[in-house]
């Protein structure tokens, strides 16, 4: 059996969200196949727009890359042309994302992270919204199987696209449990010197965009400073600019919090881990999440967590966090932050231990094995 994969989501340097998902899927399918290939007899061909980065799985006799040129309108015509040419050799085609090829004469599987653009269309730029709506609808219609990364995402797909439940398979993403806690003292010291923050800080990690609810978070943080002086003096916000983010910076200026709210932009994995390991707490006040990778990343390194009680986040966090019951309420976010501040040492340790047990439920190995099983059945 020959399984073909669109590897472009994984073939980027600064990976976030969907990029990391695609990368881990490729990496762990490769690992799974390395151990069981003689029994399974499956080969893979990964299609790319440009040469594979060095950290992608290495080529073998059963794992090959093929770069298709030109990049222009790659998904619309270049990839479909190749699939038409190879349709008698390829058994199944997999896109670890929701932009499938315009034409696909081969059984097709896609992955969907979330449908935030349908739930909160006003929070997207019109050109992005048009593309997301058009291409996702086409991909859902063409796909023989859809991999959803949470029960919440599955329910949204059924609701918005009237898809039969048996067409959708839930494949929870995972997390790498190796190096639970690395020594990052030097990295942390450099970050503190660069951005000028104290040891006690709340930490947010994610793209700067409206549904992440950062304006309400900043307002709630301002209340913690006013009501709990000298306790937690900084909110560190990590992540690249997405869209409609200007109001976030304006709110910080309007509240006079330029020295208290720290924006780092995109940072390395080592830097991110050092901030998580030393944070007072991680907070994700999102209005909607397809999954929420940073929640598990925080729990893995013993950082207590505050999250919104919406969409997929209860699936991810379980009972190992403090919940924001209504993320549209600044007061609700403030109360969750205040609850974390007031935890005694024993309760804090209990929350941290619950978090580490929760992380163990999610494994990229399991994700890859389940994905591979779906592809085998579809290709067979």
Q: What is the pLDDT of residues 240-254, one digit of tens each?
A: 888 778 999 999 999
Token output for 159: 């609701």
Rounded mean pLDDT of 123-142? Answer: 90
Listed in sequence order, the DSSP H helices in the chain are 18-40, 79-85, 116-119, 126-142, 151-161, 185-195, 214-227, 246-254, 269-278, 293-300, 313-317, 330-342, 345-359, 364-379
Residue 257 predicted with pLDDT over 70: yes
Kindly indicate the confidence band of residue 50, based on its pLDDT and cuts at 50, 70 and 90: very high
Residue 230 predicted with pLDDT over 70: no
Residue 107's φ and ψ, nearest 5 degrees, are -50, 130
| Whether 111 contacts 96, CB under 8 Å | yes
**pLDDT value, residue 183:** 58
Residue 4 predicted with pLDDT over 90: yes
Residues 6+ apart with CB under 8 A from 221: 202, 235, 257, 260, 261, 337
Residue 68's φ and ψ, nearest 5 degrees, are -105, 125
Local structure of residue 74 (DSSP, 8 states): I
Lowest mean pLDDT among 42-51, 230-239, 277-286, 298-307: 230-239
Residue 111 predicted with pLDDT over 90: yes
**pLDDT value, residue 331:** 97
**pLDDT, the chain, mean:** 92
**pLDDT value, residue 321:** 98
Kindly indicate the confidence band of residue 133, based on its pLDDT and cuts at 50, 70 and 90: very high
Q: What percent of the chain has a predicted confidence (pLDDT) above 90? A: 80
Rounded mean pLDDT of 309-319? Answer: 96
Token output for 278: 């030393």
Kindly indicate the confidence band of residue 156, based on its pLDDT and cuts at 50, 70 and 90: very high
Kindly indicate the confidence band of residue 58, based on its pLDDT and cuts at 50, 70 and 90: very high
What is the C-alpha to C-alpha distance for residues 343 and 349, in angstroms, rounded to an integer?
10
Residue 120 predicted with pLDDT over 90: no
Residue 125 predicted with pLDDT over 90: no
Residue 144 predicted with pLDDT over 70: yes
Residue 22 predicted with pLDDT over 70: yes
Lowest mean pLDDT among 10-24, 33-47, 134-148, 196-210: 33-47
Residue 180 predicted with pLDDT over 70: no
Kindly indicate the confidence band of residue 182, based on its pLDDT and cuts at 50, 70 and 90: low
Rounded mean pLDDT of 180-200? Answer: 83
Rounded mean pLDDT of 42-54? Answer: 96
């Amino acid at each position: 059996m020959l399984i073909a994969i669109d590897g472009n989501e994984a073939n980027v340097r600064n990976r976030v969200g969907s990029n990391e998902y695609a990368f881990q899927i490729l990496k762990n399918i490769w690992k799974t196949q390395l151990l069981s290939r003689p029994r399974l007899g499956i080969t893979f061909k990964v299609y790319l727009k440009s040469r594979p980065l060095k950290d992608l799985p290495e080529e073998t006799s059963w794992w090959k890359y093929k770069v298709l040129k030109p990049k222009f309108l790659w998904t619309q015509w270049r990839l479909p042309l190749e699939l038409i040419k190879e349709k008698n050799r390829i058994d199944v085609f997999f896109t670890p994302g929701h932009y499938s090829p315009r034409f696909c004469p081969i059984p097709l599987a896609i992955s969907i992270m979330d449908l935030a653009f349908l739930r909160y269309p006003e929070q997207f730029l019109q050109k992005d919204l048009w593309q997301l709506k058009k291409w996702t609808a086409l991909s859902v219609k063409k796909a023989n199987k859809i991999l959803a990364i949470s029960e919440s995402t599955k329910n949204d797909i059924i609701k918005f696209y009237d898809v039969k439940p048996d067409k959708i398979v839930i494949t929870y993403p995972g997390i790498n449990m190796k190096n639970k806690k690395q020594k990052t003292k030097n990295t942390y010291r450099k970050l503190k010197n660069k951005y000028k923050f104290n040891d006690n800080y709340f930490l947010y990690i994610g793209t700067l965009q409206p549904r992440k609810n950062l304006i309400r978070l900043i307002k709630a943080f301002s209340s913690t400073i006013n009501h709990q002086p000298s306790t937690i003096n900084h909110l560190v916000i990590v992540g690249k600019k997405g869209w409609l983010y200007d109001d976030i910076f304006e709110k910080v200026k309007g509240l006079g919090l330029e020295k208290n709210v720290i924006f780092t932009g995109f940072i390395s994995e080592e830097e991110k881990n050092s901030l998580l390991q030393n944070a007072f707490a991680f907070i994700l006040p999102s209005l909607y999440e397809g999954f929420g990778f940073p929640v598990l990343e925080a729990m893995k390194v013993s950082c207590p967590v505050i999250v919104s009680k919406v969409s997929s986040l209860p699936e991810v966090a379980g009972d190992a966090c403090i919940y924001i019951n209504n993320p549209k309420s600044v007061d609700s976010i403030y109360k969750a932050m205040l609850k974390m501040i007031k935890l005694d040492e024993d309760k804090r340790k209990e929350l941290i231990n619950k978090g580490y047990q929760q992380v163990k439920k999610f494994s990229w190995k399991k994700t890859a094995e389940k994905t591979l099983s779906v592809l085998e059945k579809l290709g067979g």
